[in-house]
Structure 1
Amino acid sequence: MAVDQPLIYLDHAATSWPKPEAVVNAVTETLMRGAANPGRGSHRMAVQSGRVLFEARKNLAKLLRISNPNDIALTANTTVGLNMAIKGILKSGDHVVATAVEHNSVRRPLEYLKESLGISVTYVETDAHGELEATRIREAIQPNTTLVVATHSSNLLGSILPIAEIGEITRRQGIPFLVDAAQSAGILDIDVEAMGIDLLAFPGHKALLGPQGTGGLYIHPRLDPVPLLHGGTGSQSESATQPTVRPDRYEAGTPNTPGMAGLAAGVKHVLEVTPAVIHARETELINRIRDGLSTVAGIRLLGPVEGRPRTGICALTMEGVEASELSFILDQHYGIAVRSGYHCTPLAHWSAGTADSGAVRASIGFSTTDEEAEALVLAVREIRTHYPL
């Protein structure tokens, strides 16, 4: 790629870019004017830092329909939130129901607890397109099931799982329901109460448009997971045990205040545009990409079939060309950034039948333009001419 060639960034499922100007300004201003330790002092800069965190929590609560912002623990990313929920809820002998399109941020903690605590896990199969009937979750529940985990949208296939239907099942049976919103927060409408969600882990750096190193975990007030971290919080310091008050109970250590300032600004931007508008735009654009690629010989498109709801992800394989090679060519010769490999979700690749080959994933964001989408289609068509079947 020529040095002056503009980058076409189609890796938003990993991290959104570029960030809105308001996000950049919020981070910079906090670093320059008030990045003290919130909750650890009464001086004006510490108080201002506390306000930054509250603003982030308040905006997130509004977006996700959470009645009490203090039920949101701010974290470094979705992975931390998922680990907090999984390791804080489960104990020896418990059974978990998860899906066959889960990210390793769910699978690896579960597999670790299988080895260390003796929990058992049922991974409910999806179809080859990553779609799932909620009744299959109900059928997998056992007498000792203490947690149900489901991703809202597959980071490989773009499929959208029936979260509200699963939440209705778990609520009837009194089983906590954990949702991985890594690919949905900021894109799909989320209402934790209406959808029966007890625990919601989400990233700040993807569709919420915040910086890396930000995220959170919503914890229903009736739940009290064991904290993942123990340490200083600035509250109840005289006690040798972790505070009971939220959110301090789950936020030991100095937080990423500048990052959370950026997250607050990113969520504000999403609230102004609305997830409905964002999802509609991404759906239009990803369908245009898929339509263009569907006519290229030897291309297999993964995920839901035409007409089914999806997020802005287009994963594909090209017959006769390794996924890593296709991704390399797109980057080096066309200036198009995509991701190849297994996308930290081998379970989804097994479901899609690409466990041996991996895939190339192009993922769009609200900032993706029509011209960028068309550039990907034209590039893949041209590459195909150099690798005839």
Structure 2
Amino acid sequence: MIYLNNAATTIQKPPEVARAVIEAMAGAGSSSRGASADDLAAARAVAGTRSRLARLIGFDHPERVAFTLNATMALNTAIFGLLRPGDHVITTDFEHNSVLRPLNELSRRGAIELDHLPADASGRLRMEELDGLFRPGTRAVVATHASNLTGAVTDAAALARAAHSHGALFILDASQSLGCLPVDMGAIGADVLCFTGHKALMGPQGTGGLVVSPQVELAPLVHGGTGVKSAEPFQPESYPEHLEAGTMNAQGLAGLSAALDYLLALGVERVAEHEEALRRRFLDGLRGLPAIVYGEHDGHPHTGVVALNLAGLDSSAVADRLAYEHGVATRAGLHCAPRMHAALGTLDRGAVRFSFGWYTTAADVDAALEALDAIAREVA
């Protein structure tokens, strides 16, 4: 199988990741829940992962890196922990349901008022409309760093500047960027950055988290045991325990730590260059095919993602044929991004998403193009 669904999860990972998980399964105890050598090994693994993640994004407070199961839980922690009754929030049409649904739920409860920065039919955010959305009660702007559907990268720094100029906070969903684009939390101006471990970071599933600026306080989403300050009746105020209740996934985080070591040595810039070269090769190869490509703009930064449809064919039918007739794994449908599909006019048919990763090769791209050509010829 040629795997071109890396925007969902990476299957191919550095060999060190699996080795680290296996070693932790055999020898890591319970982080912060004991003083044996095995328990301390687990604690050191978790702490080391915090430090590596902070280093990757240029953040000087690793204790304020809090781990969760994934970006969805991290975003829920940030959104429910930051927003208060009566707040106004701005988000965008680029967003994944991990942002949209928590905000929609708070809006349905009447707890917040919500506006969306729209995307146009070509897949661009209408940044010129942003300032007009702010109100005196705007508490936060919540936005993705890159569309999971088209790969278009948002101007996150501009979103952060606008938020701060109006006295609001900026929450960044870095699920689609961290690991395949250089991300500097301070340079962007994010007050909270949410991430997942299993996509471009090339770590195990079940790992993710949020990074909270020292100037920001969140109410915890989950309350319970932390292994420290057990006499306190409430969740400790100190980080990271404030946002981490329950036993940590030491094995998964050991794998994520190994993945971060690999990326830090490799350089995320090399990953970005590799994916951009593959994306360009793929786009060049689509010329001459009856393909409708979404969200592509010359000079606009993208991740290694291309969304398209073949004229006259349902996106799910194309993805199924790619997988079962040609051995090419993609993803079809709405990609948990309904507002983006509505903007592009693809809400009814969806799109086929090709997403490249560090282990994708030029031969993989060429094979996918040959498969698309074969499918298109059969229905011409």
What does residue 256 of structure 2 align with?
263
Give the drift of 1:134.
4.0
DSSP-derived class of the 1:367 partner: coil
Q: Mean alpha-carbon deviation: is it higher for 302-311 or for 82-91?
A: 302-311
Q: TM-score, normalised by structure 2?
A: 0.98
Q: What is aligned with 2:85?
A: 92
Give the secondary-structure state (helix, strand or coil) at the position aligned to 1:193.
helix
* 2:144 is equivalent to residue 167 of structure 1: no
Q: Would the aligned equivalents of 2:134 and 2:166 in 1 still touch at CA under 8 Å?
A: no
2:361, 2:230 → 1: CA distance? Answer: 51
For the aligned residue pairs, the C-alpha RMSD in angstroms reads: 1.1
| Aligned-partner Cα distance in 2 for 1:133–1:303 | 13
Give the one of 215, 222, 225 matched to 2:215. 222
2:198 alignment partner AA: H
Provide the rounded CA distance (Å) in 1 between the counterparts of 2:278 and 2:129: 32
In structure 2, list runs of 5 or more residues that go unmatched.
none
In structure 2, C-alpha distance between the alignment counterparts of 1:79 and 1:282, rounded to whole Å: 25
Whether contact under 8 Å (1:300, 1:317) holds in the other structure is: yes
Is this contact kept in 2: 1:131–1:160, CA < 8 A?
no
Per-residue Cα deviation, 1:194-242 (whole angstroms, up to 9, x for no partner): 2110010001000001000001101111111110000000111001100
What is the alpha-carbon distance in structure 2 between the residues aligned to residue 175 and residue 116 of structure 1?
22
Deviation of the 1:126 alpha carbon: 1.8
1:274 CA drift (Å) = 1.2
What does 1:332-371 align with in structure 2 at a 5 Å threshold? 332-371=324-363
* 1:4 counterpart residue number: none
- Tell me if the contact between 1:65 and 1:192 (Cα under 8 Å) persists in the aligned partners: yes
The letter for the 2-side match of 1:136 is E
Q: Distance in 2 between matches of 1:271 and 1:134?
A: 33
| 1:303-339 deviation per Cα after TM superposition (whole angstroms, max 9, x unaligned) | 1223421111011011111111100000001110000
Is 2:378 the counterpart of 1:386?
A: yes
Q: Does the aligned pair in 1 maintain the 2:175–2:196 contact within 8 Å?
A: yes
Q: Which runs of 5+ in 1 are unaligned?
A: 1-6
- In the other structure, the counterpart of 2:7 is 13
For residues 166-210 of structure 1, the C-alpha deviation after alignment (integer angstroms, 9 at most, x for no partner) is 112222333110011110001111111121100100010000010
Cα distance in structure 2, aligned partners of 1:324 and 1:88: 37
> Is residue 251 of structure 1 aligned with residue 241 of structure 2?
no
2:118 pairs with 1:125: yes
- Are residue 112 (structure 1) and residue 105 (structure 2) matched? yes
Match of 1:237 in 2: 230
8 Å Cα contact 1:146-1:175 kept in structure 2? yes
> Alpha-carbon deviation of 1:294?
2.8
Q: Which stretch has the larger CA shift, 133-142 or 36-45?
A: 133-142
CA 129–272 in structure 1, closer or farther in 2 if over 3 Å, else same:
farther
Q: Distance in 2 between matches of 1:199 and 1:66?
A: 11
Indicate if the aligned counterparts of 2:117 and 2:126 stay in contact, CA closer than 8 A: no
Alignment correspondent of 1:76: 69
Q: Does residue 1:321 correspond to 2:309, yes or no?
A: no
Tell me if the contact between 2:120 and 2:126 (Cα under 8 Å) persists in the aligned partners: no
How many pairs does the alignment contain? 380
Shift of 1:117: 3.9
Aligned-partner SS, 2:168: coil
